[in-house]
Amino acid sequence: MQTNVEKLLAKLVGFDTTSSKPNRACIDFIRDYLSQYGVKSEILANSDGTKACLWATIGPEDKLGIVLAGHSDVVPVAGQDWTSDPFTLTERDGKLYGRGSCDMKAFIACALSLVPELVKQKLTKPIHFAFTHDEETDMSGAAHLADFMKKRNIKPEWVWIGEPTSLGMIDSHKGVAGFATDITGVPGHSGQPDKGLSALELGTQFMDIILKAAQKKKDNAFKPSRFDPPYTTFNLGIVKGGTAENIIAEHFQIVWQARAHPGDSLEATLAAIESDAQAAFKPRFAAFAPKAGMKTCTCFNIPPLMPTKDNPGQKILGGITGNTETQAVSFATEAGFFQGLGTHVVVCGPGNIDQAHKADEFVEKSQLIACVDLIRQAVLCSAAT
């Protein structure tokens, strides 16, 4: 027989909330579920209304409280070899399989499963629910929600983000920024290369400049460092360009990414890359001005999570579990947006990040049970009379 948290997880997994698709059906389900227990929700829709964040509160709204936060979107399943339907929660050997079962609808289900208990408690501090969209892409949902909280002057005591950590605590992660660089050349016949300027040729040089910057970071790794790897990293994500094999390429685009190690200035690194590129390309651009050129745009910039002193969330969760150790990770979460409000943040949730984004993603049932109990104890410890 399924427990309440398993039933909720099954419902959540059943919504295909791949980031490229709307998440409204999932958010509306959560709103309706909360409404059954007299909990009102605020729906924060994006510009076209296809996606939304949800904000809800149980308890007194005029006090500092706890935010239970998570993202509703998931990564694609296309091209992955699943043993079972990724959008049907399937149990095998004590594990619950499905897209998002681990990352991170499990935590949302755990939090929601406690609503019937929370509404009966005499809470001295509020418990907030904050569920977002597009965490797996540009984190625009978290940015929207953080802006909403800032305008409402909502500054919680601490925020609990339930990313899969096997219920260990993360207090620090790298920031990540995405960029799109466009290079415009001059087309022409491939038999007359001197009369044109190949954007693809310049693009390969630009990629080499990024790779050299990456190697320089690796050669000058931070010592000591809590991060693995202990240096700023780059990724060449998507490359587009060219029209035909006999036409000098007029356009080149690369979408790329940087994950900055704390203490390493991303702005300075990007400025150095831009300077090296302009020095290499300026004479060639000048020969074909004003047709040729290069432009880099920032697609997104996700802030890092930094450790904070006297973090109440760490004290509460560490006191309950007996594990007070914290980790630093290289993947990014929505934590930096909440920390930007001046509050404390802890990343801690059921499931293992090693299972995320893969075919046959799963969360162990024992992790669900443990997480529900951890949330229950944390609330009783900090917000219930």
| Catalytic sites, residue numbers | 73, 135
Enter the tokens of residue 3: 């427990």
Could you write out the three-class secondary structure of the chain? CCCHHHHHHHHHHCCCCECCCCCHHHHHHHHHHHHCCCCCEEEEECCCCCCEEEEEEECCCCCCCEEEEEECCECCCCCCCCCCCCCCCEEECCEEECCCCCCCHHHHHHHHHCHHHHCCCCECCCEEEEEECCCCCCCHHHHHHHHHHHHCCCCCCEEEECCCCCCCEEEEECEEEEEEEEEECECCECCCHHHCECHHHHHHHHHHHHHHHHHHHHHCCCCCCCCCCCCCEEEEEEEEECCCCCECCCEEEEEEEEEECCCCCHHHHHHHHHHHHHHHHHHHHHHCCCCCEEEEEEEEEECCECCCCCCHHHHHHHHHHCCCCEEEECCCCCHHHHHCCCCEEEECCCCCHHHCCCCCCEEEHHHHHHHHHHHHHHHHHHCEC
Enter the tokens of residue 173: 């992660």
